[in-house]
């Protein structure tokens, strides 16, 4: 189902690249009294989660994007807004994103749903009657949708929202090799390659030589200059895919949309520089529980409104709680 949007890009940020870059460089995360918790995973590694809000409120799980973390501006900004609407939140740091290296070679990727399911099961065991929703941005949105489609009716969530999702990973990887988008590719790949190098040194320092050897076998990553290459030599080898194409085909979320049973809102900008309009699903690919809110502008996880350049209006901080409010009001009636 396609729904009408009220988003109108700020006149001073009409360009999709400005919508994308401005919040990444300019937005300062609000200072929140976050409570961090570490969960030991079934494979004896760990994930760090950051809590915000009051006990006994409905709970929202937040999933960040590639090279982001629970400290990203769009995560913390949403946490504050959710709290103002009566929701508490818990932001998952994907492995290696919390500011501390994990103890295994394993990292995260666009199709890795084990950790979100482990977190969900942990929360459900602790609070079986709590109303829970989930929000994902970019890579986190792809993970969220894939998980929702995989698990179907096994999940007890009242709602979900996925923003700026790379629904077809191979098409998005190709788009990042073209034109101005190469700048994003170069920046992200630089961070990812440095992370692998630094993690290898860390694993050696803590005497995890077997895990360190898995990273050493990846070889010198200096000559990698595209996501096709990185995902072929790093993601595929570390996570059991045949190659990058196998990874893209198995992990792209578009194929899972038809089996989603949780009420889900997709927020997608047509001008997103990380992808082409062709990756956005057709309405017949959506289950009856999924709604698409498509905007003409907004860039990638941008969606900035407002007439005053000194007081930007981060529309997602309003739209997402507004969507969740619809369900909590129904539940409480």
Question: How does pLDDT run across 232-244, given as a tens digit for each residue?
Answer: 999 999 999 999 9
Same-domain check for residues 193 and 77:
no
pLDDT at 227: 97
Question: Which pair of structure tokens corresponds to residue 206?
Answer: 């803590």
Question: How does pLDDT run across 248-277, given as a tens digit for each residue?
Answer: 999 999 999 999 999 999 999 999 999 999
Same-domain check for residues 114 and 201:
no
Catalytic residue among 50, 231, 271, 272: 272
Local confidence band at 28 (pLDDT 50, 70, 90 cut-offs): confident
Same-domain check for residues 327 and 222:
no
Query: Is 272 one of the catalytic residues?
Result: yes
Local confidence band at 333 (pLDDT 50, 70, 90 cut-offs): very low
Same-domain check for residues 178 and 325:
no
Has residue 304 been placed in a domain?
yes
Q: What is the mean pLDDT of residues 149-153?
A: 96
Same-domain check for residues 301 and 319:
yes
Tell me the CA distances in angstroms from 63 to 76, 277, 281, one per residue in order. 11, 23, 21
Has residue 160 been placed in a domain?
yes
Catalytic residue among 138, 244, 251, 253: 138
Same-domain check for residues 148 and 27:
yes
Query: Is 117 one of the catalytic residues?
Result: no
Has residue 183 been placed in a domain?
yes
Q: How far apart are CA 75 and CA 65, in angstroms?
A: 10
Same-domain check for residues 276 and 302:
yes
Has residue 302 been placed in a domain?
yes
Same-domain check for residues 302 and 245:
no
Same-domain check for residues 67 and 133:
yes
- Looking at 226, 251, 276, the residue that finishes a domain is 251
Has residue 4 been placed in a domain?
no
Question: Which pair of structure tokens corresponds to residue 199?
Answer: 């993690």
Q: What is the mean pLDDT of residues 37-49?
A: 97
pLDDT > 70 fraction of the chain, expressed in percent and rounded? 98
pLDDT at 328: 84
Q: What is the mean pLDDT of residues 163-181?
A: 96
Whether the pLDDT of residue 296 is over 90: the answer is: yes
Has residue 230 been placed in a domain?
yes
Same-domain check for residues 237 and 109:
no
Query: Is 138 one of the catalytic residues?
Result: yes
DSSP characters over 138-181: THHHHHHHHHHHHHGGG---SEEEEES--SSHHHHHHHTTSGGG
pLDDT at 330: 60
Same-domain check for residues 176 and 313:
no
Domain that holds residue 284: 11-167+252-332
Has residue 148 been placed in a domain?
yes
Q: In the chain, what's the furthest Cα-to-Cα distance? A: 59
- Specify the CATH number for the domain of residue 119: 3.40.50.1820
Has residue 2 been placed in a domain?
no
Same-domain check for residues 114 and 204:
no
Burial, 291: exposed, middle or buried (Cβ in 10 Å; 0-12, 13-18, 19+)?
middle
The count of domains in the chain is 2
Local confidence band at 331 (pLDDT 50, 70, 90 cut-offs): low
pLDDT at 253: 98
Mean of pLDDT over the chain: 96
Q: How far apart are CA 251 and CA 146, in angstroms?
A: 7
The set of residues, in sequence order, having a beta carbon less than 8 Å from that of 174 and lying 6+ positions away, is 228
- Looking at 251, 271, 288, the residue that finishes a domain is 251
Residue with tokens 């992200």: 188
- Looking at 251, 286, 313, the residue that finishes a domain is 251
Catalytic residue among 200, 253, 300, 317: 300
φ, ψ dihedrals at 166, nearest 5°: -80, 75
The set of residues, in sequence order, having a beta carbon less than 8 Å from that of 116 and lying 6+ positions away, is 61, 63, 92, 134, 143, 144, 147
DSSP characters over 33-77: --EEEEEE-TTS-EEEEEEES-TTS-EEEEE--TT--TTSHHHHH
Local confidence band at 29 (pLDDT 50, 70, 90 cut-offs): confident
């Amino acid at each position: 189902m396609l729904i009408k949007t009220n988003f109108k890009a700020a006149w001073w940020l009409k360009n999709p690249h400005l919508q994308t870059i401005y919040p990444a460089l300019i937005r300062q995360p609000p200072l929140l009294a976050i409570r961090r918790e570490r969960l030991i995973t079934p494979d004896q590694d760990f994930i760090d989660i950051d809590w915000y809000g009051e006990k006994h409120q409905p709970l929202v799980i937040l999933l960040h994007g590639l090279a982001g973390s629970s400290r990203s501006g769009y995560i913390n900004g949403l946490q504050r807004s959710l709290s103002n609407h009566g929701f508490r939140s818990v932001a998952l740091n994907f492995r290696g994103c919390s500011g501390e290296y994990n103890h295994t070679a394993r990292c995260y990727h666009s199709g890795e749903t084990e950790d979100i399911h482990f977190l969900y099961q942990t929360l459900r065991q602790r609070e079986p009657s709590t109303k829970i929703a989930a929000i994902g941005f970019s890579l986190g949105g792809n993970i969220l949708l894939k998980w929702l489609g995989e698990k179907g009716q096994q999940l007890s969530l009242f709602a979900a929202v996925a923003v700026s999702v790379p629904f077809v990973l191979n098409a998005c990887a190709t788009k990042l090799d073209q034109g101005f988008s190469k700048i994003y590719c170069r920046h992200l790949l630089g961070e990812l390659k440095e992370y692998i190098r630094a993690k290898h040194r860390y694993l050696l320092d803590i005497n995890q030589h077997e895990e360190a050897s898995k990273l050493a076998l990846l070889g010198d990553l200096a000559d990698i200059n595209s996501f096709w290459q990185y995902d072929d030599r790093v993601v595929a080898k570390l996570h059991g895919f045949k190659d990058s194409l196998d990874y893209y085909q198995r992990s792209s979320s578009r194929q899972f949309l038809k089996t989603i049973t949780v009420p889900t809102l997709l927020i997608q900008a047509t001008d997103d520089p990380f992808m082409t309009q062709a990756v956005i699903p057709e309405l017949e690919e959506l289950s009856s529980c999924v709604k698409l809110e498509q905007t003409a502008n907004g860039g990638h996880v941008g969606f900035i409104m407002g007439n005053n350049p000194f007081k930007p209006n981060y529309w997602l901080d309003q739209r997402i709680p507004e969507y969740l409010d619809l369900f909590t009001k129904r539940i409480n009636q």
